[in-house]
Amino acid sequence: MTGEGATAMTGGRTVSAAVDAAVAGDGAGWDALFDRFYPVVLRFAMARLGDRSAAEEVTQEVFVAAVASIRSLRERREPAVEAWFLRIARFKIVDRFRRGRRPDLEVPGDLVAADDPAEAATLRMEAAEVRRAMERLTDEQREILVRRFVLDQSLEQVAEATGRPVGAVKSMQHRALAALSRRLGRREAA
Amino acid sequence: MTGDERHSLPSGVAAWAAESRLTPREQPVADARAAMHAAAAAPPAAIPGRSSRILPALRAAGRRHPLRLGTATLVAAASLLVALGWDAPAGSPLHEVRIGREQVGLILAAGDARTALRLSYAESRLRDAKAGIDPQGSLGEAAGLLDQARAALPAGHDGELWQRWTGDEATLRALRAGSSDDGGRSRSGDGLPAPGGAPGGDDRGGTAGGGESSGATASPGGGGDGGHSGGDGVSSSTSSAASSGDGGGSGDDGGGRSGSTSSSSSTSSTDGGGHDSSSGSSGGSSSSSSTTTTTGGGSSDH
């Protein structure tokens, strides 16, 4: 739902029509859903895992799992379908953490290719710190931060996707950032 | 997200957000799309998640609480075993479960209740035999149970338990008579009382007719009647019942002592009909030998 509204078209279809087609076994329906939600799921996974390869693996698992459970999807408007994909992603990420598969320690190619590798490395470390601190937040707080800052969703979009009033989302975001600051401050002090 | 908001973000959040905004790479996208289409085209059972969710859930539970899951599995297996073997007939692999269950019942019961329980177990064996489920084994077990019940019956020879026992004995005898291969082991030829008659002794036919009767060779007809069928037994025991004081010519030791009706029945009346030698299986045909067997009968009193 990054930017588009509930009636957004994916490959000439609405999300709802794409879901209908996918449920009916139409490959084009799956393609439309894939094109629409692959980038969203990939970013969501990256925000939690911090490792590109792991995020890509998880994203692939999400779409395979979606095939198995799409019949259980009742609400077929775009925000609901996106929330459904992200819910599957959350399960897959938790499963990955549970299995103890941590991000690879290889030096990413984009870091090596950066104009200023030292600065890129610093940014990466800061990002890793934030990810670690975020693991201490609640699921709801984490989701709101990812939607707002990674998926670039507006407060209204987050409110619609999560089924909360805009004011509640704003308040939760504020508390989440405050908690994050405290945790990051504690780390820096330590 | 406004510029002011971004400015007020905690240190590192912007870096984290920028790092997370990946642009999809061509190859992983192609791989993921192919995997998705393969899953969509696969038969339902081959797709993870479409298959049973119970097994993965059990596996997860097993990882979290291995001891509890192990205990639950054991209990479930034991319950299944008990359920399957609850009424397993003789000859079936789980028959031991039934015997165990009955033993527990017998241990818990006492007095007449225990006897009644034995009789009901015997009756269920008789039903099995009647239904053609391992007749040999079922009748053998029924005989054993009736023997045990007989030993615990009250001395009065009347009451509900006695009636049941008598009826069960008659059924047993009838079933054995109907059995094609009961041969010399038949209880029916051992002079047991007829249905409706008072119970006889507890020495069972098959063995009595063949084995113990060997000591009573004096009985001309008796030895030969060791394996007599129920027909003879019925008719003779009826007469024996009439002649015995307690209304029950008891019939142990079988054909070997058959024909000793009058002399032995008086003995049986004194000991409750338990171990007296008895009459009857060879019935009228042995009456001529009664004189000879009187001695034998007396000597065979227990």
Chain B within 8 Å of A91 (Cβ-Cβ)? Answer: no
Measured in degrees and rounded to the nearest 5, phi and psi for residue B277 equal: -75, 155
Residue pair A41/A65 in contact (Cβ under 8 Å)? The answer is: no
The span from the CA of A133 to the CA of B72, in Å, is: 40
Residue B16 to residue A39, Cβ atoms within 8 A: no
pLDDT of residue B220: 39
* Of B271, B122, B281, B15, residue with least CA distance to A111: B15
The span from the CA of B10 to the CA of A184, in Å, is: 8
Confidence of residue A39 (pLDDT cuts 50, 70, 90): very high
Side-chain half-sphere exposure of B272, counting CA atoms within 13 A: 12
The span from the CA of A38 to the CA of A63, in Å, is: 8
What is the residue type of B54? I
Residue B143: alpha-carbon gap to chain centroid: 12
Confidence of residue A10 (pLDDT cuts 50, 70, 90): low
Helix axis angle for A78-98 and A27-49, nearest 10°, is 50
Domain membership flag for residue A43: yes
pLDDT tens per residue, range A53-77: 999 999 999 999 999 989 888 888 8
Interface of A with B in 17-76 (CB under 8 A): 22, 25, 27, 30-31, 34, 38-39, 42-43, 46-47, 50, 52, 55-56, 59-60, 63-69
The span from the CA of B185 to the CA of B302, in Å, is: 22
Reading the block at residue A124, the tokens are: 């990466």
pLDDT of residue B255: 38
> Can you list the residues of chain B whose pLDDT is less than 70?
1-8, 43-53, 179-302
Distances from the Cα of B228 to the Cα of B174, B254, B259, angstroms: 12, 9, 13
Domain membership flag for residue A142: no
SS3 state of residue A13: strand
Q: What is the helix (H) or strand (E) element at residue A10, kind and residue range? A: strand A9-10
Residue pair A89/A58 in contact (Cβ under 8 Å)? The answer is: yes
Reading the block at residue B65, the tokens are: 């609480």
pLDDT of residue A33: 94
The span from the CA of A167 to the CA of B285, in Å, is: 110
Chain A within 8 Å of B74 (Cβ-Cβ)? Answer: no
What is the residue type of B103? Q
Residue A65's CATH number: 1.10.1740.10
The span from the CA of B146 to the CA of B202, in Å, is: 9
Q: What is the DSSP letter of B127?
A: H
The span from the CA of A21 to the CA of A32, in Å, is: 10
Task: Please state the rounded mean pLDDT for residues A105-114.
Answer: 55
Q: What is the DSSP letter of B88?
A: P
pLDDT of residue B231: 37
- Length of chain B measured in residues: 302
Could you say which of A56, A67, A146 has the minimum Cβ distance to residue B40?
A: A67
What is the residue type of B143? A
ipTM above 0.85 for this complex: no
Nearest residue of B to residue A46, measured between CA atoms: B20
pLDDT of residue B205: 41
Residue B10 to residue A129, Cβ atoms within 8 A: no
SS3 state of residue A151: coil
pLDDT of residue B4: 55
Residue A30 to residue B40, Cβ atoms within 8 A: yes
Reading the block at residue B128, the tokens are: 């099995």
Task: Tell me the sheet residues that pair with B277.
Answer: B252
Residue pair B235/B228 in contact (Cβ under 8 Å)? The answer is: no
Domain membership flag for residue A74: yes
Structural domain including A49 reads 1-104
* pLDDT of A110 strictly over 90: no
Domain membership flag for residue A40: yes
The span from the CA of B257 to the CA of A26, in Å, is: 91
Residue pair B138/B125 in contact (Cβ under 8 Å)? The answer is: yes
Domain membership flag for residue A91: yes
CA angle, residues A53, A56, A61, in degrees to nearest 5: 125
Nearest residue of B to residue A111, measured between CA atoms: B19
- DSSP string covering A50-77: --HHHHHHHHHHHHHHHHHHGGG----S
* pLDDT of A80 strictly over 80: yes
Residue B3: alpha-carbon gap to chain centroid: 85
- How many domains, chain A? 1
The span from the CA of A54 to the CA of A93, in Å, is: 9
Contacts of B108 (CB under 8 A, 6+ apart): none
* pLDDT of A104 strictly over 80: no
Chain B within 8 Å of A165 (Cβ-Cβ)? Answer: no
Using CB atoms within 10 A of its CB, is residue B147 exposed (0-12), middle (13-18) or buried (19+)? Answer: middle
pLDDT of residue B270: 38
Chain B within 8 Å of A111 (Cβ-Cβ)? Answer: no
pLDDT of residue A116: 73
Could you say which of A50, A55, A126 has the minimum Cβ distance to residue B12?
A: A126
Domain membership flag for residue A134: no
Domain membership flag for residue A129: no
The span from the CA of B280 to the CA of B257, in Å, is: 8
- Length of chain A measured in residues: 190
Q: What is the helix (H) or strand (E) element at residue A9, kind and residue range? A: strand A9-10
The span from the CA of A84 to the CA of A63, in Å, is: 11
Domain membership flag for residue A57: yes
- DSSP string covering B146-193: HHHHHHHS-TTS-SHHHHHHHHHHHHHHHHHHH-TT-GGG-SGGGTPP
Residue A67 to residue B47, Cβ atoms within 8 A: yes
